[in-house]
Structure 1
Amino acid sequence: MRKSVLFCLCLGCLLGAAPIPERKVEARLKEVARLQGVRGNQLLGYGVVVGLNGTGDKDQTKFTVQTLTNLMARQGISVSPSSVKVKNVASVMVTADLPAFAKPGQRIDVTVSSTGDATSLAGGTLLMAPLQGADGQTYAVGQGPLLVGGFAAGGGGGGATKNHPTVGRVPDGALVEREVAGNFNDRRFLRYSLVEEDFTTTVRVVHSINEELGMEVAKPLDSRTVEVLVPEGFQGRVVELVARLENLPVQLQPRARVVVNEKTGTVILGTDVKIGAVSIVQGGLSIVVSSTPLVSQPTSLSQGKTVAGAKKDVNATEEKAKIASLEPGVTVGRMVEMLNGLGVTPRDLVAILQAIKDAGALNAELRVL
C-alpha cells in the first residue's frame, strides 16, 4: 500500500501584490451571445439495420425478432417469431439534430447506435425509421447505408476491435418532413444570452446596440440576458436587424482563470494570472508494505502439519523537501516553470494550486473538473 504526503504550503505577505492590468479584447456580438429561440431540436427514433455479415443481434434479443416479424407483416409476409433465427439484423436507436429553420425536403445526418448485442454494424443498411421530437411529432425519416469507422473480428478464441463498431452514421440519411412552426420576422423583441455571464459585458452589449441603432431599445435583464425591442423601422424585417447587430464589436473583460483536472493531473492556465507572495515546501513520504508467502514443512515421520505463512516487510522512504519562494505579483506561468525545475509532478501542481487558492494568494478563479 502506498501513501503520499504531497506538500506543506506556507503563506507569505500579500500586501505587496502587484495589480493585474486589464487587457482589452474585442469580439463580435454573435461570438459572445446567442439569440434565444434560434437553435436546433433533438430527434429520436427506433429502427432496424439489415445486411450485416453475421454480426447482428443474437437469438436472445427478443425485441429484434419482434421488430423484424412486425416489419415483414406490414409487407404482407406472415412469419412466427419463434421460427425466426437470423444474425444479420440489429435493432438500433436513431438520433439526429433538426437545425433551426429546417424546411421539408432538407436532408440531415443521423447517428445509429446498437441497442442489442450486435458486435458490429459495418456494412448494414438502416431501414426507414421515423424520427420524433419531444412533442411526439415526426419531423424526419431516416434511411440509408451506414458508415462505421471501425471493425470487430474474431475467431479461435481471439479477436480484434478497432474504434467503436456498434455506432455508425448515415450522412444526409434523414429527410425533413415537418418544420418547426413560427415566423421569425413577426417577433416584437429579441433576447440575447451571453455565453458566459458577466455584468460588465452585458452593460457593454446594451451600450453597443443602443449606439448602433441610435435609440434606447436594448436593456439588460440580468448578468447574462439582454432584451432588444424591435424598432418600428425593422417591423417585419427582423432578419435584417439581427444581421446588423450580430457583427457589432463588443469589448470583453477576460477573467483570470485556472482550470485543473484532478483525474488526469492536467492544468490549463493563463500566463498572466498573478499570485501573491508565497513560500512552497513540497516533499514526499512513501510507505511500501510487501508480503512474501512462506510454507512451513514438517520433518518426515513427525506428526506435524504443513502450514502456510507470510513474511511482511515495511519500508519507508522520505524524499528531500523541495522549497520555492515566489515574489509578489509573479505569474502562474513563471511559478509553473520553477516547480517543474524542482521536479514537481502535474498532480502535485494541482494540489499546490488548490492550496494557494484556499490561502487567498491566487488572484484568479480556480475551476476544478
Structure 2
Amino acid sequence: MRKYLLLIVLICLGVAESPAVRIKDIATISGVRSNQLMGVGLVAGLKGTGDTGSKVTDKALTNLLVNMGVTNRQDLYHSKNIAVVMVTAELPAFVKPGQKIDVFVSSIGDATSLRDGNLLMTPIKGADDQVYAVAQGPIILGGRGAANRSETVCKVVEGAIVEQSVPMEIAGKSSIALNLNKSDFSTATRVAEALDRAGYSGTRAIDPSTVEIPIEAEDREGLVSFIARVQDFMVVPDAVAKVVINQRTGTVVIGENVRLSPVAISHGDVEIHIESGSEGGEEGEGEGLDDALLAMNQATAGGDQAAQQQKEKVIKLVQLREGSTLSSLVKALNSVGTSPQDLIAILQGLKTAGALAAEIEVI
C-alpha cells in the first residue's frame, strides 16, 4: 500500500499577512521566573508491584518506620508494596504558601507499576536545599486499557502544598525588561518600535532577546496594570525561513518566506525543474500551484513509440517557476505519489544545491 505524506503547511507570503500576537505570548518579564523542585519519597499501597530486593527501598522504609516509632534500626523491613520515587515540581513565580502545585512522580527502582499507590509525605527542595513544598496524595493513572501507557511515571494534580515562596520584587523599578522567548534581531526591533510609537517613549532593544521599557513616575505605583498593558500589546514577530521534517511520521512543517531558486534535480523516477523567468516572482497557492500541476506529466526517456512501450520506468516530471513556494513543490510531489523518504531526500538536495533558502531541521 502506498504511503501518503502527512503534510502540514504554514505559509505566509509576507510579513504584513503574518498574524499579530500578544507580547505576553512571545516574551517574559525579566526576573519573573519559576523554580525547579525535587525530592525523594515513597509510594505505598502497591499490590506487589513495588521494588523487589532493593536495599535503598528497604532502608528508606525502615527509616520511615523508625521515625514513626514502629521499629528499631536493627530490623530491616522488606515489602513489595513500596517503591522509592523521585518527586519533581515547578514552583511558579509569585505563588504563595498554602497554594497547591502539580508534581510528577517517577519510580527510580525496579517497580513495575505505581497504580493505586499513595505518595507518602515528601518534602521537595530547591537548588538552595530549602524545602519549598510538601507532596502527598494518591497515584491516579489513566484507564487500564490504555495502550503503551507507562505505569511508573505519573502526574499528581495539585499534589503538593507550597510552604514558602521565592521573593520577587517588581515594585519601585524605573524600568522593566522583556526577554523574548526566541532571540531575533527583527522581532526585538519591532517590539521596541511598536511600544515607542504607542507612547512608551524610550523603549529600546538592548540585544536580540531583550527589550527595555522605561517606567514613568506616575506608572510606578500601578506597576501591575502597567505590565498587563504592555503584555497585551499586539506585535508581528518575524520568523526565519524554516522547514521541519519528521522522518518517522513524514510530517513536513513549512515556515513563511520559503522560496525556491532555479535548479534541476533527478531523484529516482522524479525529475524536478525549477526554471528562471520574468514571470516567476511572487507566486502563491493559487496560480503558481495550478501552473505546477498542469506542467506535471508522465513521459518515457525518448525513442519511438515501440521503445516507449517497452520502457518500464516512467519519469514523473515536475516543473515550477523561479520564486515558487515550497508548498507548491510538496503538493506537486504528493500528486505524483512521492514517498515521505523521497521528499526528505529531495528537500535536502535542494538545500545542498543552494536552491532552498531556508533552514532544514530533521527530527
Normalised by the length of structure 1, the TM-score is: 0.77
Q: Structure 2 vs 1, CA of residues 139 and 191 (structure 1 numbering), >3 Å: closer, same or farther?
A: same
**Residue matched to 2:260:** 275
Q: For each residue in 1:60-87, what CA deviation from the matched residue of structure 2 results, as whole angstroms up to 9, or x when unmatched?
A: 2100000011011111122456652311
Match 1:135 to one of 128, 136, 155 = 128
Match of 1:186 among 161, 172, 190: 172
Q: Is the 8 A contact 1:23 1:254 kept in 2?
A: no
After TM superposition, the structure 1 stretch with the greater mean CA deviation from structure 2, 181-190 or 222-231, is: 181-190
Question: d(CA) in 2 for partners of 1:90 and 1:22?
Answer: 55
* Aligned residues of 2:59 and 2:77 also touching (Cα < 8 A): no
Q: Which 10-residue stretch deviates more, 116-125 or 31-40?
A: 31-40
Equivalent position to 1:71, from 39, 64, 67: 64
| 1:86 pairs with 2:79 | yes
Contact 1:149 1:168 in 2 (8 A): no
**Separation in 2 of the partners of 1:118 and 1:151?**
17
Whether the 8 Å contact between 1:144 and 1:173 is mirrored in structure 2 is: yes
Aligned ranges 1:125-164 → 2 under 5 Å? 125-149=118-142, 163-164=149-150
The structural deviation recorded for 1:346 is 0.7
Which residue identity does 2:356 align to in structure 1? L
Stretches of structure 1 lacking an aligned partner (at least 5 in a row): 1-19, 153-159, 285-317
Residue aligned with 2:61, SS: helix
Residue 233 of structure 2 corresponds to residue 233 of structure 1: no
Give the % identical residues: 42
Inter-partner Cα distance in structure 2 for 1:106 and 1:129: 16
Shift of 1:38: 1.8
Instruction: Give the Cα separation in 2 of the matches to 1:189 and 1:272.
Output: 35
Q: Equivalent residue of 1:123, what SS?
A: coil
- Under a length normalisation based on structure 2, what TM-score does the superposition of the two structures give? 0.78
Indicate conservation of the 8 Å contact 1:142/1:174, yes or no: yes
- How far does residue 262 in structure 1 lie from its aligned partner after superposition? 3.7
Aligned to 2:16, the other structure's residue is in SS state: coil
Q: Alpha-carbon deviation of 1:319? A: 5.8
2-structure distance, mates of 1:162, 1:350: 29
Please identify the structure whose Cα radius of gyration is greater. 1
1:105 alignment partner in structure 2: 98
2:350 maps to 1:356: yes
Unpaired runs of at least 5, structure 2: 1-12, 270-311
More strand by share: 1
- RMSD, aligned CA: 2.4
The equivalent residue for 2:338 is 344
Query: Aligned-pair distance for 1:193?
Result: 1.5
Match of 1:31 among 17, 22, 25: 25
Following the alignment from structure 2 to structure 1, what is the Cα–Cα distance between the partners of residues 175 and 138? 44
Structure 1 SS opposite 2:198: helix
Which residue number in structure 2 is paired with residue 212 of structure 1?
Answer: 198
Match of 1:243 among 212, 215, 228: 228
Amino acid at match of 1:334: S
1:41 Cα shift? 1.1
Paired residues of 2:62 and 2:75 also in contact (CA < 8 A): no
Q: Distance in 1 between matches of 2:233 and 2:104?
A: 36
Deviation at residue 151 of structure 1 after TM alignment:
5.1
| Contact 1:108 1:171 survives alignment (8 Å) | yes
Which SS does the other structure have where 2:352 is aligned? helix
- How has the CA–CA distance of structure 1 residues 151 and 87 changed in structure 2, closer, same or farther, with 3 Å as cutoff? farther
Alpha-carbon separation, structure 1, partners of 2:345 and 2:261: 17
Alignment CA distance shift 1:171-1:270 (3 Å): closer
Aligned match for 1:266, one of 251, 259, 262: 251
State the structure with bigger RCO (CA 8 A, min sep 6), 1 or 2.
Answer: 1
Q: Is this contact kept in 2: 1:128–1:141, CA < 8 A?
A: yes
Q: Distance in 2 between matches of 1:336 and 1:258?
A: 12
Q: How many residues align?
A: 308
Query: Do the aligned partners of 2:240 and 2:256 also contact (CA within 8 Å) in 1?
Result: no
